[in-house]
Every structure is written in C-alpha cells, then in structure tokens.
Structure 1
Amino acid sequence: MVTVDRRRSLRRAGIALAAATSLGILAAGAPATAAPTAAPPGASVTTGRPAPAAPSTSTGTGGAVSSVDAEASRIGLEVLRDGGNAADAAVATAAALGVTEPYSAGIGGGGYFVYFDAATGEVTTLDGRETAPVGMGPNAFINPATGTPYPFATAVSSGLSVGVPGTLATWETALDRFGTDSLREALQPAIVLANRGFTVDQTFRQQTLDNAARFSQFSDTAALFLPGGDAPQVGSTFKNHDLAQTMKLIAQRGTDVFYDGPLAAEMADVAQHPRLAPDATIAPPSGFLTADDLAEYEVLEQAPTHVEYHGLDVYGMAPSSSGGTTVGESLNILEDFALSPDALPQSLHLYLEATAHAFADRNRYVGDPAFVDVPTETLLSQEFADSRACLIDPAQARPKPVAPGDLAATGCEPAAAVASADQGVSTTHLSVVDQWGNAVAYTLTIEQTGGSGMTVPGRGFLLNNELTDFNFVPAFPGDPNTVEPGKRPRSSMSPTIVVDGDDVRYVVGSPGGATIITTVVQVLLNRLDLGMTLPEAVAAPRASQRNAATTPAESAFIAAYADDLAPFGHVLAPVQGTNPSPLAAEIGAVAAIEVDQGGLITAVAEPVRRGGGTALVVEPAN
C-alpha cells in the first residue's frame, strides 16, 4: 500500500494559479477578467451546443461514459472527445455529479477509484474513504446522559457523523497518477454548470421532499435546498452559486485551501457547532472534526482485489471497502455451480445463498486493515469459497443468518453465527472507458441521501455522515468495524472492472449502501450466466440477500420470481428505505460499460431507477 501525499509543491501551485488566472477562474469576490460564458439551459456545458437526448444505452467506439445524470455524462464525454483519458473524464464527471447529485456526492464526502491502465494491464485503486477524527474514541456514539447509543437518526443529522472528506484529494491524486488534465481544468465544466444551473427533475424534487423535515432544522441547508420553504419544482432551474465560488477558489488555489485553509476551519466549525434554524426542534450532538484532521488526510493507493470468474479477471476495491472481497467471494462460490437461464429459479436461489454466505464473512472479518487484521487473501481464495459452497444446498435455502466461515477449517464446519449489518442507501457511481482502452470505475458518496443534512455556510456543499457506517457498539467480540481514531468505516462500495486478457471487458458499479454488493454480483450473473445482454442485465429486477431471514426485493422481482423461489424456502419482502418515498422501493442505480472483442462499446445506465441515467459513446454506431 502506498500513501499518497495530497499536498502540492509551491512551484506547481504557482503554475496552477497562473493558468487559473488566464482562464478567469478567480476566488470568491475577485473581479472576473475572462469569465466563461454560461451555456443556455439544455445546452452542452462546455460548448454551448444543443444537448442531445439522454439515452440509457449507447453503442459505438472511441470511448464512453455512464452515470446517473445526463449533464454529468455529457461533460465526461466532451472530455473524451477533446482527447482526455478515462481519469480526466471520470474526475470531470464526478465534479458535475457534485452539482446535480448534491445529496449523493460532492466534495464533502469520499469514495473509491479503480483504474485500469491499458498500456500496462495494471489495475490500481485509490482509497478516498472518509476517516474518523483523531479525537473520536470508541464511545463516541454513546450518549453520556443515558449511557446508551444515540438513535441512528440522531447520529446521522449531527456533527458526530461527519468524517474527514476524501473526495477532493481523490480527484487530485487520480489526475496526478493517471490523468492528463489539471484539477483546475477538470473542475471548470462543473463550475459553469453550478452557475448556469440544471433542470430539476422528479428525482431531485423527491429526494429534497424526503429530507425536507431534517433539512429545515439547519439554517444554511434550508436556505439552499428549500427556498421559500419548499423543494424546487420540477422543471425549474436549480443554481448553486456558492458551490461554483467554492470550486473556483479550489481551482485557483489548489486543494490546500480545502484541507489546510479557510474551508477546513469552516467545515470543522460546522461539525462541532451545528448551525440550527431558529425554530429547530432537534439538539444534534457535536462532532469531533478539526482543521488538523483535514490537514492530515491522505489518499491510499493500493492493489485491487482479484478473482477469476469464467476465465475473466474481476478486479475490485480492497478493504477498507468490503465490496471487492464480498463480490469476489460471492463469484467464487457461484463458480462451483452450473448456472443457466434454463434453470433460472435455481440459479437465482444459488445467487441468494452465495451472497448470504459472503455477507456473513464480510460482517465478521472486514474492517479497516490499518486497524484490524483482515484476511483478504483467504476471503478471495477459491479454496475458502469451496468450503462455503459445500454448505449450500442446491435445492433448499439455509436458515438465516448463516454463520461465517472458519478461516482455518478445510471442511464444511461453520463458526458461531452473527447478525447481519447494513448501511445507508445513497451514493453515486460512474463508469468510463477511453479510446485507448483505459477504464475507470468510481463510486463516491456522502452516505445517506443528503448526508449529515448540514451545509457548510456560504460554500454550497453538504457534509457527509459516513461515520454512521461504524457499528455504534461492538456487534460481537472483536468486531472489526467499531470506532477508532483515524479509522475508515467499512464500506460496501464496489467499483468493479472485469478484464479479458489484456483488454477491459466490463466496468460496473452502483449506489445503494450494502445492496451495492449484491447489485454488482447480480448484474454480472445476469450478463455472464443467464444469457442477458448488458442493457437487460442492468434493467432486470433485483433482490438483495445479505444474510437476513427475509430477502428484500423490488416489486417486479417479487412478481416474477416469488412463486418460483418459494419451494427453495426463500421469503421475499418489498424493499424498504428509510422513508416512504417511492425511491425507496428501488435497489441500486447501475452505470456500466461493456467492450466486446471487436472493440464495440455498449454503455448502459438505468432506464428507470433513480429517474434513469445517461450512457454516451464518443462515436455512436450507425
């Protein structure tokens, strides 16, 4: 593992300042000498040309971008068209998602970046996960007045939940390691987009309504996202001038202004002293974040997880994420069975059993490897998967929760059972392939939809609530996911790249909290085993078995497969979110790309979930 120092040399900072000044990218309050011209609504942000339709599937050549948002995908595509590579396009797309998907992503959060270098065949990952402040001890989530853990909802909307953000450092590191653009260049389209605004759709309005009660508790958040006391109307234009000014400041002065400058002090102050509305009815606990925590933040460069599935190399994110190990173990278990569209009910049964067993091991063994001994090699070994597969009855589901595997055992004897664990449901994902065959799978988040609910005053972005991914109290002796100073909470984000020989074949990822893992597994199962095309694999109804007595499933999955799975002993239940929003009935929001052996690219985003995504290629077929 390599620690990547985020801080910049003075020489390079001077070059960035000069370049930023030449483009008129100025700090807040400075006169603009060459400010970019805003594109009209519905036009390309970087060229001003009329924007094309926003397809969920595109085929062609020359590179591709897939994300949940049309504006973000178009920005990434234009980077590719202008000669940028996959890393350049991924960072520009992610910056735009921070504008149009502010409740799921942005510079107040973190994420995981997986990069495939076509020239070398090497896959590298960047761990930009948030960290616990150094002053945060193991009893941080215990209410001193009661001696019991804070309610989850209380902890979410508080400074207590705010971890040290890693997203901006991830962008900078990704561009330094893999890109050709500067961070200043990558931020420019998002700055224009934030100033120009984007058209509010039903998903954005619904997400705002779902969070209106808690957003109204924080004065700065209410002022930005609840103008006039209501969520922005569908069809209106939502502008975020504060965020544009913040990104201009970062473009001009580099990331030091965020991690070592005034923004660091402001973020710490909000976490320690939440800014409540005059009529607020909550009393959120204060957080531990300090400016020193931000100054010390570092992105970690590390090797990916790796398994082979049907002769393909599947690469994912190693701990602190549980995504790579759990996706990999699930696939290794499934490798022991004959899956087929001709035996669809049994194949789905085996999928549900494989993920249940992999989740048992995830919950027992995976945490931040800087603090706990994570048996990554064992969890990804085919031998261990074989020992888990031998416990699965092809004709009958086992009672849940199943026990985790004994790492030292060679037979089929399980260890003691443990309860399942879960996470928040928001986040966003983007996939990119460029003309040279380089690829990026990048999942980023601020955790819950709306994060902590706290907006940094005058800066236009929400702070994360990632620290609620820790277990508030140990779930069992030796629980690897309890709070420690400087520790990264366990994540389920699963950016995945599948390679065939020397070439990228699939790039896959999704939001969805702990359901991310099962979503990625199910999409790969659908494509590689069940005879579906990639668009069919993404659109197919989903279920998510995470070692619980019942299996949450989308209504379409229940309608299609409940009767077929009942004889196997599976009990399906409608998926539930944290609120009655219709968005809570969905599992995931995939952004994926396939490159066939002839070089034809198929880029796929959700056709319906989360309002539908946008997948674009540089040179469309036909």
Structure 2
Amino acid sequence: MRRLLLSVSATLWLGLGTGCASAPGARSSSAPSATATGRGGAAATVDERATAAALELLKAGGNAVDAAVAAASVLGVTDPYSCGIGGGGFMVVYLAQDKRVYTLDHRETAPQALERSRFYENGGLVPFDALVTSGLSVGVPGSLMGWSEALRLYGSRPLSDVLQPAIRVAEQGFDVDSTFFEQTRHNVSRFRDFPSTATLYLGPDGQPWPVGSTFKNPGLARTYRLVAQGGVPAFYRGELAQAIVDTVTHPPVAPGASRTVRPGVMTLDDLARYEALVRPPVTSSYRGYTLYGMGMPTSGGLTLALTLNLLEAYAPTKLSRADFLHRYLEASRLAFADRNAFLGDPAFVSVPEAGLLSRDYAAQRRATLDLTYASKGAVAPGNPFAFQEPAPAPHTSLPEVKRPAAEEWVLNKETTHITTSDAAGNIVSYTCTIESEGGNGMVVPGYGFLLNNELTDFDLPASPELPHPNAPAPGKRPRSSMSPVLVFKDGVPVLALGSPGGSTIITTVGQTLVNTLDFGMPLEQALAAPRVSQRNSPDNTSQAEPEFIASPEAAALVALGHRFTNAGPIGALTAIRFNPDGTVTAAAEPRRRGGGSARVVTPVK
C-alpha cells in the first residue's frame, strides 16, 4: 500500500541521494518495499496491490505483458483518480525472442462530432475548469482496447484470466490510505455534484471515506466481469457503451449542483470504431545507449530524444554540476519550443520526426544555447523540416493558446506508470491515465469507473479558425507528454522507466536518465532525487521541488540568471534496472504521492 511520508533529507543536485522515513497511513503490518532485486521477473507500480497482481501473473507463468495489464486493471480500483478503464495510455514492449521493441498507442480520441467551435462560447474560450468537469472533455476511452490488443499480440494469458486479481480487489475491498483519502478530499466539491460519483467515493456524510476504512467497488467488479466474459465488445458496444454515451451526453448532475456541466457529443459509433494502434518506436541514442520511446501522438519520445541530442556534446565530468545542469535546462527549453510548435496527431499533422532526430539539426539548435547565462524568455522553435526530405516550408509563428496556471499544470496531471519484466527477458514500460486527478469527475452510473478529461490536452487558440498542430478536430488524438522508455546497450536491456506528471513527465524521465546514465546513480537514488523542470516558460523560471531550490546548485544557477518556482512534488517514477549478473532491480517512487511498491519473483539476499 502506498505510504505517507513525514520527512525527507537529501543531498542535492540532480539528486545525490534521498533518505526518508515512513509514517502511519497504510494498515499493513509491514510497509511495502520501494526497491527489490532478484530474478524470475519483476514489477514496480505506485500501489502494493497492483504490484502483487503483477507478481501473481508472473508466478503463474504469465509474461511481462500479462503482468502489466493485471497491474493496470488493479490500479483502476486502487488508484482510480490516476488511471482506469475510462482512460488510455501508451505501452512500450520488448519481446526477447524477437529482440524487438513494439509500441502500442491506445490514446483517447475526440468524438467525430466534436468540432473545435464547441470549446468557444460568447466570443471566448470555455473556462478550463469548466472543460475539465464536462462531457466535452471526454475522449473515447482506449485502455481496454489497449489491454486486449497487448495481450493478443504480445501476452500469454487471456483477458479473462488477467482481470481476476482486479475483480477480487474490487469485490473484497482494500484499506483506504492517506493518499487515496487526500485525492478524494481534493475532489469533494465536484464529486458531490454527481450522485453516481458521490455514492461511490463519498461516505453518507458527504466526506471522503476515512483512512483505514475498507473501500469496495462492486460496480467496477461488475464491469470487469462483463469484459472478462464478453471481451472488448462488452465495453465498446451494448449496454456498457450506451451507459458511457449517456453519461457523456447527459451528465448525471445532482439537482442544485454547484456548476454548469456541459454535455459532450460522443456516440455509440465513436466507441465501436475505436482502434488501438501499433506504431514504430522513436529510436535515438545517447552516449552509446539506444533509447526506445513512444512516437506521436505523445511528444515524450521525440522531445526526450532532442533534449539528449542537444546535451550529448557536453561531458558532465568536465563541468561543474551547476554548469552541466544549466546546459540541461537550456536544452530542455529548446526541445520544448519545438515540441510546442510542431507536434500533434500524425494522422492530422506532418510531424518532422526525422528532422527532430537529426544530429545536424541538434548541432544547429545547440549553437543558439548560451553557455554563460539563462534565456530571458521563451525561445523560438527551429526548423527541423530543413533536415529531412522533402523539406516543407519553414515554420511560421503560432497563435497564443489557452493553458492553465503553471502550478495547476503540474499538480493536476495525475497519470501512473507501470514497469514489468519476466524470466524470459520480456519488458514492459507502460504509462496510463485519465488525465486530471479524478478525470472529468463523473462515474458511469452502475459501472464504477471515472471517465477521462483527456481532450483538455488539446491546445486552444484564442479563436477557433486559427491553426495549431494540437488543436481539436474530430477523431483526433490529443498530444500527450507520456514518456515510457526502454534503454539498451549493445543490444542488451539496461533500464526501463516512466513517470506521471503532465508535461513534467518528459523532464522527470530526462533528469532520471541523466542521473543513471551519466552519473551512475543507484536506481533508488535516481528516482528519489530532487527535480527541476524547464519547459520553455515565458520567462526564465523553472519549476522545481523545494529540496532542489534549497541546494547549492540552485544557488549557482541563480547566479547564471535562472529563477525557480516551488512546484511541490514532481513526478513519481517506476523503473527496472537490468544488472550485469542477470538479476534485475525494480524500483518505485519512495515518497512522492505516498510512495510505491517494487517486487521481484525470487529475491536475492
């Protein structure tokens, strides 16, 4: 079970070690371990029960894909404000027998009737908060289709078997911990506006179920049983599909609700037509390592690759830590400028992937990086199209787009990451989400799951006629920042990892890669390290955790013109390190979001 931690002490930079003490919050007699080393397969998630489900599948002879789907379905019960059957995700899979990496896109899609004009009212944009809690924000869920396709293509067990641990947890219940309580508390006001949500997640007094109480979800158990018996059609067609459409188009709002809840336009045909897509991975290299990430519509793989291409010219052993970190932050700023300008759903946008991955392009962009002082504001994008064939016209300036306040942009992006491996050497790095904490706030009546608000990931220009690569369109998949990654050296797996955190996912994964690949930090230290995130902010401010802001390196960076704002906790990784002796080390976030759980099939003492 996730833990609530009271104190943290750290030796800082990109994080040179973090110690923490756990406090009461979970009721289990012994706290779950955030790190485990052994053989026979491994799993790391944000939650003890999800990790246990993955281990159950591995011990029964299932593979890493079976384990990842089992963990994800349990997280739909125990971590429902971050992920679930009402959302979507991106999965990166390595099959050892094929010696090949596959990626599976099951991102949510905009309904076919969702014209961009629906996001505008009275000459302006619909307020962001109003979009979040609405039917308009709901994309066609992709999670179940992704799970089914992953098992069909790469797994070894049927969906009916893999869902059994989640059915048990939903029926038998689990002890509410401090993290679950706090996430519910954050949502009390909007949950009260939907009887189907309030009945499930709030007690008779209209307050969150208290820490230590047993939480059960019979509606979700029913949903999982329907799917176990009927497969994908039980969700995307028939009574369950009709219930989803009814919830989106006629939000189940309580009389006297505190807000106006705008309906969406999803249809049964939107659900019936949904597809999960196998896409080629984004392949890049960094200091002799090969990295495999997800391609569009998530921007994580390309933005990480460009950041590391820019950074590779600088040897960390020849620079002070502050000077190297200055280069890291400025490289991230340049990469995000290109991300924001060019990246969108490849079915709708010409994405300059080859140009963004070009070493020559990185050299050109790197030449604009000031090695002595921080950028004073947002930097302009480059022209990666010139570094691929054929070269379209250069980029023109983009309109200003609607974004929520910076702190909200970090903290309200929940999501979760699952990392698994098996005895045969197969690996899964899987990030899944329902977007904001609690998604759109609406539980599908009778079926026990929250719907996503994923369409708020689109960018909205000031007026609907202005172009933008990530503007809404019928059937379009909104741009994501999810960054599941696999790292190899000479064809041998080294590392698998990923994180939640909205657009900070990219910088969190990037910083952790630098910690491990450049500085050889033990995996548990790399995950615990204090974080800083630069995403081409309008000024030179980077978001950072308090421990980072208090560090000597931050003081040295201030002297170089950097400024920092306290973002609170950033990210919550899970990862697996593949050791030279054939063992693996699984690691989960030790403290953020209450900490996670890592286990191996056969521990090594």
What is the TM-score when the length of structure 2 is the normalising length?
Answer: 0.90
Q: How far off its partner does 1:502 sit?
A: 2.7
Which residue of the partner structure matches residue 224 of structure 1? 200
Q: 2:460 aligns with which of 451, 472, 492?
A: 472
Q: Is contact 1:401-1:417 (8 Å) kept?
A: no
2:229 is the alignment partner of 1:237: no
SS in 2 for 1:217: coil
Which residue of the partner structure matches residue 101 of structure 1? 79
SS in 1 for 2:89: strand
CA distance in 1, matches of 2:600, 2:469: 42
Code of the residue aligned with 1:556 in structure 2: it is E
Q: Is contact 1:340-1:347 (8 Å) kept?
A: no
2:293 is the alignment partner of 1:310: no
Code of the residue aligned with 1:108 in structure 2: it is G
Which residue of the partner structure matches residue 18 of structure 1? none
Which residue of the partner structure matches residue 326 of structure 2? 349
Q: 1:603 aligns with which of 566, 586, 589?
A: 586
2:562 is the alignment partner of 1:564: no
2:529 is the alignment partner of 1:540: yes
Q: How far off its partner does 1:414 sit?
A: 10
Which residue of the partner structure matches residue 506 of structure 1? 495
Q: Is contact 1:341-1:529 (8 Å) kept?
A: no
Q: Is contact 1:97-1:105 (8 Å) kept?
A: yes
2:528 is the alignment partner of 1:551: no
Q: 1:54 aligns with which of 32, 41, 53?
A: 32
CA distance in 1, matches of 2:506, 2:170: 32
Q: 1:322 aligns with which of 272, 279, 299?
A: 299
Q: How far off its partner does 1:399 sit?
A: 2.0
Q: How far off its partner does 1:482 sit?
A: 0.6
**Residue ranges of structure 2 left out of the alignment (5+ in a row):** 1-25, 388-393
Q: Is contact 2:322-2:554 (8 Å) kept?
A: no
CA distance in 2, matches of 1:179, 1:449: 30
Which residue of the partner structure matches residue 130 of structure 2? 154
Q: 2:144 aligns with which of 168, 174, 177?
A: 168
2:502 is the alignment partner of 1:519: no
Q: How far off its partner does 1:52 sit?
A: 6.7
CA distances 1:301-328 after superposition (whole Å, capped 9, x unpaired): 0100010111111010100110111111
CA spacing shift, 1:474–1:279, aligned 2, 3 Å:
closer
Q: How far off its partner does 1:452 sit?
A: 0.3
Q: 2:430 aligns with which of 405, 426, 442?
A: 442
SS in 2 for 1:160: coil
Q: 2:378 aligns with which of 388, 395, 401?
A: 401
Higher relative contact order (CA 8 A, sep 6+): 2
CA distance in 1, matches of 2:298, 2:345: 8
Give the number of aligned pairs.
Answer: 562
Aligned pairs for 1:294-443 (under 5 A) are 294-340=271-317, 343-408=320-385, 424-443=412-431
CA spacing shift, 1:615–1:371, aligned 2, 3 Å:
same
Q: Is contact 1:264-1:291 (8 Å) kept?
A: yes
Which residue of the partner structure matches residue 572 of structure 2? 589
Q: Is contact 2:94-2:426 (8 Å) kept?
A: yes
SS in 2 for 1:392: coil
Code of the residue aligned with 1:517 in structure 2: it is I
CA distance in 2, matches of 1:120, 1:51: 42
Q: Is contact 2:399-2:466 (8 Å) kept?
A: no
Q: Is contact 1:364-1:418 (8 Å) kept?
A: no
Deviating more after overlay: 433-442 vs 422-431: 422-431
2:444 is the alignment partner of 1:463: no
Q: How far off its partner does 1:417 sit?
A: 8.1
**Residue ranges of structure 1 left out of the alignment (5+ in a row):** 1-41, 44-49, 576-584
CA distance in 2, matches of 1:329, 1:433: 28
Q: Is contact 1:403-1:415 (8 Å) kept?
A: no
Q: Is contact 2:373-2:560 (8 Å) kept?
A: yes
What RMSD over aligned residues (CA atoms) do the two structures have, in Å?
1.9
CA distance in 1, matches of 2:325, 2:310: 13
Q: How far off its partner does 1:278 sit?
A: 2.1
Which residue of the partner structure matches residue 195 of structure 1? 171
CA spacing shift, 1:501–1:120, aligned 2, 3 Å:
farther
Q: How far off its partner does 1:397 sit?
A: 1.3
CA spacing shift, 1:169–1:83, aligned 2, 3 Å:
same
CA spacing shift, 1:363–1:199, aligned 2, 3 Å:
same
CA spacing shift, 1:158–1:247, aligned 2, 3 Å:
same
Which residue of the partner structure matches residue 30 of structure 1? none
Q: How far off its partner does 1:168 sit?
A: 0.2
CA distances 1:56-77 after superposition (whole Å, capped 9, x unpaired): 0111111110110011001101
Code of the residue aligned with 1:587 in structure 2: it is I
CA distance in 2, matches of 1:98, 1:377: 37
Percent of aligned positions that are identical: 49
CA distance in 2, matches of 1:383, 1:248: 53
CA spacing shift, 1:491–1:318, aligned 2, 3 Å:
same
CA distance in 2, matches of 1:326, 1:396: 23
CA spacing shift, 1:541–1:418, aligned 2, 3 Å:
farther
Code of the residue aligned with 1:511 in structure 2: it is P
Q: 2:106 aligns with which of 105, 128, 146?
A: 128
Q: How far off its partner does 1:363 sit?
A: 0.3
Code of the residue aligned with 1:141 in structure 2: it is F
Aligned pairs for 1:71-150 (under 5 A) are 71-143=49-121, 146-150=122-126
SS in 2 for 1:71: helix
CA distance in 2, matches of 1:67, 1:217: 31
